[in-house]
Amino acid sequence: MNPRFTNRIAAVTGAGSGLGRATAIGLAQEGARLLLFDRDEKGLAATASECPGAVCVVGDAASAADVARAEATARRELGLVELLVPAAGILGPAKPAIELEEEEWDRLFAVNVKGPGLAARAFIPHMREIGHGAICMFSSTAGLSGSPFLSAYSASKGAVALLTRSMALNHAAERIRINCVCPGTINGPMSEASFALAGDSEARDARAATMRARIPAGRFGEPEEVAAAVLYLLSDAAGFTTGVALPVDGGRLA
C-alpha cells in the first residue's frame, strides 16, 4: 500500500500510551511527521523511539497554556499541522454519578472534553492556513450508550461525540473534517484499569468476562485496530466523511 501521509504534519495528544501511541506509530509508518504530546514524559519517549523525527512536548491536555506551547513548538519545529488526534483521556472514578466529588467532575470534563476542544482551538488555525485539515477525536462506545460502571466517563465521551458533530458543522465549508472513533473495550492499560476498579482479582476477572460476553466478536480489540480506523478517517479516502462517530467495537453496538 502507498503511504497515505508522506510529509504531512500530525499532532497526537495522549501519545504516550495505548491508542494514542498506536495511532502515532501508524501515522509515522505511513510517512507523517509528528508532534507528540502527553503528560507522561517516559511514555512519550517510548513512542517517539518508534516515530523517527517526532517532536515531543510534555504537558497537560487540559491546560490552555500547555496546549499553546505544543502549538508553538509544532509551528516552529515542524510547520503547519494538517492532522490532529486529541487522544488524551482519563477514566475517572468508577462511582455512580451522584457520588462524584466536585473536583472529580471538573478534572474528568477538563481532560476529556475541554482537552480536545483546546487542541482543536490551537490547531484549526493551522488547517485554515493550509486550506484543509482533518481531526479524529476519541469518544467511546460509552459515549454512544450508557455505562453502568462509569457514568461520568460515559457522559464525558457523549460530549466528545457531539463536540465532533457540532464542530464538523462549524468547519465543513473550510474543508476541515472532524470525526471521532468510539472504541469498545481495547486491550491495554485503560481497560485493565477499568477492570481493576471492580475490586479484587476475582471481581476484576468477573468484570472482564462480563465485558467480553457483550462483544459479538467474542474478544477485546487491539490498539492497532483502532489506529487503523483513525488513519482511515484522517486520510483522503474519507474526504467526504465528516461528523461521524465510528464504533470500533467488535459489534458491541450493532
Ligand X SMILES: NC(=O)c1ccc[n+]([C@@H]2O[C@H](COP(=O)([O-])OP(=O)(O)OC[C@H]3O[C@@H](n4cnc5c(N)ncnc54)[C@H](O)[C@@H]3O)[C@@H](O)[C@H]2O)c1
Site for ligand X contains 61 (CB under 6 A): yes
| Closest CB to ligand X among residues 32, 88 | 88
- Residue 57 or 168: the one with the smaller Cβ distance to ligand X is 57
Of residues 31, 96, 189, 239, which one binds ligand X by CB under 6 A?
A: 189
Contacting ligand X (CB under 6 A), which of 4, 40, 68, 144? 40
Tell me if 140 contacts ligand X by CB under 6 A. Answer: yes
Q: How far is the CB of 5 from ligand X (least distance, A)?
A: 20
CA separation for the pair 6, 203 (Å, rounded): 46
Q: What is the rounded CA–CA span in Å between residue 62 and residue 111?
A: 5
- 250: contact with ligand X by CB under 6 A: no
Burial class (CB in 10 A: 0-12, 13-18, 19+), 101: exposed
Nearer to ligand X, 188 or 250 (CB): 188
The alpha-carbon radius of gyration of the chain (Å, integer) is 17
Task: Report the alpha-carbon distance of residue 46 to residue 50 in Å, rounded.
Answer: 7
The answer to the question of residue 198 lying near ligand X (CB under 6 A) is no
Residue selected from 5, 123, 138, 149 as contacting ligand X according to rule CB under 6 A: 138
Which of 52, 189 has the CB closer to ligand X? 189
Query: Residue 153 catalytic?
Result: yes
Beta-sheet strand order (sheet of 9-13):
55-58, 33-38, 9-13, 83-86, 133-138, 176-183, 245-248
Does 16 engage in binding with ligand X (CB under 6 A)? Answer: yes
Cβ neighbours of residue 107 closer than 8 Å, sequence gap 6 or more: 62, 90, 92
- 238, 179 Cβ separation under 8 angstroms: yes
Let me know how long the chain is: 254
Closer CB to ligand X, 40 or 175, in the complex: 40
- Catalytic option among 5, 123, 138, 153: 153
Helix/strand/coil for 33 = strand
Give SS3 for 219: coil
* 158 binds ligand X, rule: CB under 6 A: no
Residue 26 engages ligand X in binding (rule: CB under 6 A)? no
> Do the strands 33-38 and 55-58 form a parallel or antiparallel pair, or are they unpaired?
parallel
Question: Which residue among 92, 183, 247, 250 contacts ligand X (CB under 6 A)?
Answer: 183
Catalytic positions, written as ranges: 153
Q: Which residues bind ligand X (CB under 6 A)?
A: 14, 16-20, 38-40, 43, 60-62, 87-90, 111, 138, 140, 183, 185-186, 188-191
